[in-house]
Structure 1
């Protein structure tokens, strides 16, 4: 740990990037939206995006595969609190299209990838994102987004 000029403990930037890398999270979300768009042509809710992001990127899919597995949903809730900033950035970059009104709850906002978002994703696609996309597609096929499954994920148990 390092101390900054005010005497507070701080984490080195290299360690912070491992745990809080907004650009990487943005690309992972763009990959997820792209993956889901290839399977179906509708808008996706923020809640659905957070659900699939968590089960793939935090390996919480184990909750749905093995009855005896219990997992901590902490990562799910941390990501859920950051998704708003990611969506704002993606919308400002014209990577996504939003479908909502002023009274729409955050989790109910509908999103789909824009043509410029798809172009950006395709230009920056790599082996890492291709493998991640395969994991997303596999998770769509194995675990349905339902209220019951969302509850299981939030509780961290089968």
Structure 2
């Protein structure tokens, strides 16, 4: 009989939950959608969601301040943007199944071109489960939305990392 050997190289569950917490990611995206819809309640492209999520959660706002753009020793990890880009599909699917959002588009659309609209259930859930952390995050999203325009040029800056 062959015995299974336990690997000493596995990541503890507490660390996995810390760095791969779907519920937290859903709340962060829900927070972002609530902040964006407070400005105007229109549909948002997935790429715009990725853009503002990255600016706030990966602290990339400095890329858009002229003073710090020239500092050669500060480079963001663009891996964070692309890593989150791979997660967004699953997050949006879960949020859609929970009736928090509506995803609109055609099967031939690229993922970035799909549009997302916050639904009433998503607003209510966010308000009912808000915390000090989410309130501060909400304010940071509002600041980013008001100070940094979503444009193809600015998306390129984030994707390239400088």
Structure 1 alignment gaps of length 5 or more: none
Secondary structure of the equivalent of 2:82? helix
Matching of residues 1-20 of structure 1 within 5 Å: 5=5, 7=7, 9-20=9-20
Deviation per residue, 1:55-96 (Å, 9 max, x gap): 100111111122124222111110010000000000000000
From 107, 127, 137, the equivalent of 2:112 is 107
Give TM-score, length-normalised by structure 2: 0.90
Secondary structure of the equivalent of 1:10? coil
The CA deviation at 1:5 is 4.7
Secondary structure of the equivalent of 1:49? helix
Q: Stretches of 4+ moved more than 2 A in 1?
A: 4-9
Give TM-score, length-normalised by structure 1: 0.93
Structure 2 alignment gaps of length 5 or more: none
- Equivalent residue for 1:51? 51
Matching of residues 90-129 of structure 1 within 5 Å: 90-129=95-134
The CA deviation at 1:100 is 0.8
| CA RMSD, Structure 1 to Structure 2 (Å) | 1.4
Secondary structure of the equivalent of 2:149? coil
Larger Cα-atom Rg: 2
Write the distance in 2 (CA, Å) between the matches of 1:111 and 1:5.
46
The CA deviation at 1:9 is 2.2
- Equivalent residue for 2:40? 40
